[in-house]
């Protein structure tokens, strides 16, 4: 038998042998050539084969072993622990050999295979930590090659953004951001996009990751870019614009650009009203975030109006005993305190604490901020001893949850020292 390395020295001849020995596998080889040089699970190919153009009978339940053996013998395919892998020389030769109509159907099939794998992973199948790296690499390769095949890269971009989200979930934000940056560049190079909103979505997701990585200026740039892309490429009737405005506002809020964040939140509210989208989860989150920003800017009166709206929405949608209801009630208490309405603030903070004790427990760290807020309110009213008890309780909660040097622990300790 000829050595595998020598067979791969002439990939074109190896491909001819593969096509002669297993003609039904030609479509599979063409599709694999569009992907990255990473394994692809055979189960993903099988699950998607019925829905893609071409002849994929060769990878059906009864013929897979024979097919794989023949392709391995021809020197173009390898079986690995994580799936099947087209050799790099064969992959390059196939891409050079494909004419446009074949390349287009091959790219579509590769997308369906990759989407099938993503669905299997999200259903809990496979080694996710290793697999999402491969999904990300395949998605990027497809996004770069689909325009060459005369196809928009949208499907590959969608899988890639999902992969980036999974990497972020696994505490790998730098890798997720790098993937999004590469996908962004591939989208920009594409002659056309079926869904232009994808550029806004990529910038939106990337802005949040850059903020998490403390690359502040880049995060601001991407947040602003997301807004521009959404407004330039999507009609005013598109409700997704409000989502991008809200998310960009969140990045700017996190980075201390409060005026700009307020403007974006206000524009998002306008869009919700235009689309008659009152009472939605997005409206509630907007109210919570905008009231936070207004409080930070010292605009207590308007913050009270927005927080009151959040309380009504949260109680209507989520009920009295829910963390977001508690957050809305807490913001309302902070606004009352900022206005000097201390009795209302005291009552409101007690309501927030009651909700959190019901939802969590009496020593959960979520209670700490409202205990401190109530303590500060009582201190302003002259009830120093009761205020001290609340600050001591908050300090104990923060110390147990976060340790002695956490910023919340230090802040609670400072309150006590100043009493």
In a domain, 412, yes or no: yes
- Percentage with pLDDT > 90 across the chain: 62
Instruction: Work out the average pLDDT over 98-107.
Output: 84
b/e code 353-382 from CB counts within 10 Å (16+ = b):
bebbbebeeeeebbbbbbbbbbbbbbbeee
Q: Which residue has tokens 């020598």?
A: 6
Q: Does residue 131 form part of some domain?
A: no
Q: Where are the alpha helices (DSSP H) in 146-257?
A: 154-169, 173-189, 197-212, 216-233, 240-254
Residue 32 has pLDDT above 70, yes or no: yes
pLDDT score at 65: 76
> What number is the average pLDDT over the span 294-323?
96
Confidence of residue 126 (pLDDT cuts 50, 70, 90): low
Model confidence at 190: pLDDT above 70: yes
240 is a domain residue: no
The whole-angstrom separation of Cα 67 and Cα 57 is: 10
Residues 327-333 have a mean pLDDT of 97
pLDDT at 125: 66
243-271: pLDDT as tens digits = 999 999 999 999 999 999 999 999 999 99
Query: Does the pLDDT value for residue 312 go beyond 90?
Result: yes
CATH assignment of the domain containing 404: 1.25.40
- Whether residue 371 is contained in a domain is answered as yes
Res 351 pLDDT > 60: yes
Segment 352-368 shows an average pLDDT of 94
Using alpha carbons, select from 116, 102, 188 the residue that is nearest to residue 153: 188
Residues 242/282, Cβ–Cβ less than 8 Å = yes
Strand partners, 62: none
pLDDT at 4: 42
Tokens of 113: 């295979």
Span of 147-156, 196-205, 269-278, 310-319 with lowest mean pLDDT: 269-278
In a domain, 93, yes or no: no
Tell me if 384 is assigned to some domain: yes
Cα–Cα distance between 303 and 309 in angstroms, integer?
A: 10
CA–CA gap between residue 338 and residue 271 (Å, rounded): 29
The separation between CA 346 and the C-alpha centre of its own chain, rounded to angstroms, equals: 38
Judge whether 391 lies within some domain.
yes
Note the pLDDT of residue 47. 84
Instruction: State the Cα–Cα distance between residues 202 and 154, nearest whole angstrom.
Output: 11
Question: Each residue of 275-301: pLDDT tens digit?
Answer: 877 778 999 999 999 999 999 999 999
Tokens representing 394? Answer: 């908050």
How high is the mean pLDDT of the chain? 89
Inform me whether the pLDDT recorded for 192 exceeds 70: yes
Provide mean pLDDT across the span 42-69: 75
DSSP SS3 for 401: helix
Q: What is the mean pLDDT of residues 390-394?
A: 92
Total domain count for the chain? Answer: 1
Amino acid 48: pLDDT: 84
pLDDT higher than threshold 50 for residue 6: no
Cα–Cα distance measured from residue 72 to residue 229, given in angstroms and rounded to the nearest whole number: 47
Confirm whether 288 is domain-assigned.
no
Structural domain including 376 reads 360-419
Whole-prediction pTM: 0.84
């Amino acid at each position: 038998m000829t050595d595998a390395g020598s067979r791969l020295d002439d990939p074109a001849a190896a491909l001819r042998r593969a096509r002669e020995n297993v003609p039904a596998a030609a479509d599979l080889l063409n599709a694999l050539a569009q992907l990255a040089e990473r394994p692809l699970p055979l189960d993903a190919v099988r699950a998607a084969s019925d829905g893609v153009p071409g002849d994929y009978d060769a990878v059906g339940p009864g013929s897979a072993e024979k097919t794989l053996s023949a392709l391995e013998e021809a020197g173009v395919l390898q079986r690995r622990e994580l799936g099947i892998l087209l050799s790099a020389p064969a992959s390059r030769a196939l891409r050079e050999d494909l004419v446009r109509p074949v390349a287009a159907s091959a790219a579509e099939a590769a997308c369906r295979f990759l989407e099938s794998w993503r669905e299997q992973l999200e259903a809990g199948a496979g080694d996710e930590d290793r697999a999402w790296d491969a999904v990300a690499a395949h998605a990027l390769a497809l996004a770069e090659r689909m325009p060459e095949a005369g196809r928009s890269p949208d499907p590959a971009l969608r899988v890639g953004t999902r992969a980036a989200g999974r990497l972020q979930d696994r505490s790998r934000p730098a890798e997720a951001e790098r993937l999004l940056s590469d996908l962004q560049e591939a989208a920009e190079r594409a002659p056309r996009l079926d869904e232009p909103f994808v550029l806004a979505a990529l910038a939106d997701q990337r802005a949040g990751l850059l903020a998490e990585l403390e690359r502040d200026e880049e995060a601001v740039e991407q947040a602003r870019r997301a807004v521009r892309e959404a407004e330039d490429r999507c009609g005013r009737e598109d409700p997704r614009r409000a989502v991008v405005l809200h998310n960009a506002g969140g990045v700017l809020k996190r980075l201390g650009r409060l005026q700009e964040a307020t403007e974006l939140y206000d524009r998002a509210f306008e869009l919700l009203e235009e689309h008659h989208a009152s009472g939605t989860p997005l409206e509630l989150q907007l109210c919570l975030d905008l009231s936070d920003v207004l409080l930070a800017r010292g605009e207590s009166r308007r913050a009270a109006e927005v927080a009151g709206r959040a309380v009504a929405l949260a109680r209507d949608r989520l009920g009295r005993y829910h963390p977001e209801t508690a957050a809305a009630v807490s913001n309302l208490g902070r606004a009352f305190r900022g206005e000097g309405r201390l009795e209302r603030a005291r009552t409101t903070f007690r309501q927030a604490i009651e909700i959190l004790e019901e939802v969590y427990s009496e020593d959960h760290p979520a209670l700490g901020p409202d205990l401190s807020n109530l303590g500060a309110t009582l201190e302003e009213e002259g009830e120093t001893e009761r205020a001290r008890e609340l600050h001591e309780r908050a300090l104990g909660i923060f110390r147990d949850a976060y340790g002695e040097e956490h910023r919340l622990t230090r802040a609670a300790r400072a309150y006590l020292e100043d009493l």
